[in-house]
Amino acid sequence: MMERMEPFASTLDLQTGVMNPASQVLRRYLSGMSDLYADSSAAQRILAEEGVRLIYEVYVVDVPEAEGQVLHSTTIIYPGRIGQEFHMTKGHFHVKRDRAEIYLGLAGTGALLLQTDDGIVRSVEMRRGAVAYVPPLWAHRTVNTGDAPFAFFAAWPGDAGHDYASIEQQGFAKLLVSQDGRAVLIDNPRAR
Ligand code: PA5
Ligand code: NI
């Protein structure tokens, strides 16, 4: 039997994406995800020169990770590039592959990159007010393609789970890179 919870609200700053209260704020640094970027020498150079580079933050609301619940969070990806590749999230499949997700763009500009198990890739533009649907079966990663922080809200089923290992191993078949001042989707030279 499901335990009854008290209703509650969090406050979301619609300009910045900061959520309050948040049970956790996850901070992802380049040092913990440098292998995900195609240009590993650019990543090593930045680490040597800057020491620490914050790529993104996730504000997680305190909801049990269980069937029937709706987990929700906001993500803020800071602007920047590793070589030509824009700052991005690690990306994941849901452990339960048939669980979907909704993203709502709040600030800045970016893209939602999606990939199937057999390597089909799609890209959806994200900006304030864009409501993006991540259907079941698609891995998803977000990318900041602009010069300002890119923030979005996400909601997904409580029993979905995050599978990061598959993306760490296989990578995304496409990359979002800056070319002549534009965001361009290219083939990943390191795709496995
Ligand atoms: O549930 C989601 O898909 C998002 O809240 C992501 O977890 C968030 O954007 C961070 O990305 P990742 O989990 O791939 O590090
Ligand atoms: Ni997800």
CA distance 38 to 18: 30
Atom 13, ligand 1: residue with shortest CA distance: 91
Radius of gyration of the chain (CA): 16
pTM over 0.85: yes
- Tally the C-alpha atoms within 13 A of residue 7's C-alpha that lie toward its C-beta: 0
Can you give the pLDDT at residue 192? 66
Other CB atoms within 10 Å distance of the CB of residue 33 = 19
Give Cα separations from 117 to 20, 134, 164 (angstroms): 35, 14, 13
Using a 6 Å cutoff on CB, does residue 162 contact ligand 1?
A: yes
Atom 11, ligand 1: residue with shortest CA distance: 89
Atom 2, ligand 1: residue with shortest CA distance: 154
pLDDT in tens, the chain (192 residues): 788 999 999 999 999 999 999 999 999 999 999 999 999 999 999 999 999 999 999 999 999 999 999 999 999 999 999 999 999 999 999 999 999 999 999 999 999 999 999 999 999 999 999 999 999 999 999 999 999 999 999 999 999 999 999 999 989 999 999 999 999 999 998 876
Distance 101 CA to ligand 2 centre (A): 6
Using a 6 Å cutoff on CB, does residue 72 contact ligand 1?
A: no
Q: Which ligand is nearest to the CA of 138?
A: 2
- Residues around ion ligand 2, judged by CB within 5 A, are 101
Can you give the pLDDT at residue 1? 75
Which atom of ligand 1 approaches the CA of 164 most closely?
14
Using a 6 Å cutoff on CB, does residue 101 contact ligand 1?
A: yes
Q: Is 166 exposed, middle or buried (0-12, 13-18, 19+ CB in 10 A)?
A: middle
- How far is it between the farthest Cα atoms of the chain? 57
CA distance 28 to 120: 26
CA dihedral 70, 71, 77, 81 (to 10 degrees): -90
Using a 6 Å cutoff on CB, does residue 154 contact ligand 1?
A: yes
